[in-house]
Amino acid sequence: MTCFYDARMRAAKRLPILNDLRAVYYDDIEVTVHELRKLESDTNYIALPQTLVKVINYYLDYELLTQVCENCPITAISERLQIDEKYYSYYKPCSNTKFFNRSRKINHVLSNNRKDRTVFFYARLQYSLFLKKYISRDYVSINTSIPYKKLTRIENTYFELDNIEDAAILYCFYDYYELGAKICSICPVHSLYKSENFKNIEKKEE
pLDDT score of 162 = 84
Chain-centroid distance, C-alpha 140 = 18
d(CA 23, CA 27): 6
pLDDT score of 75 = 96
CA dist 169 to 54, 147, 174, Å?
24, 12, 9
pLDDT score of 195 = 81
Q: Decide: 162 and 50 in contact? Cβ < 8 Å.
A: yes
pLDDT score of 13 = 95
d(CA 56, CA 132): 43
Find, among 58, 11, 1, the residue nearest to 31 by Cα.
58
Buried b (16+ CB within 10 A) or exposed e, 155-172: beeeeebeebebbbbbbe
pLDDT score of 90 = 85
Q: What does each of the 206 residues of the chain score in pLDDT, given as a tens digit? A: 999 999 999 999 999 999 999 999 999 899 999 999 999 999 999 999 999 999 999 999 999 999 999 999 999 999 999 999 999 988 888 877 889 999 999 999 998 877 778 999 999 999 999 999 999 999 999 999 999 999 999 998 767 788 899 999 999 999 999 999 999 998 999 999 878 777 666 555 55
Q: Decide: 21 and 36 in contact? Cβ < 8 Å.
A: yes
pLDDT score of 197 = 73
What is the residue type of 163? N
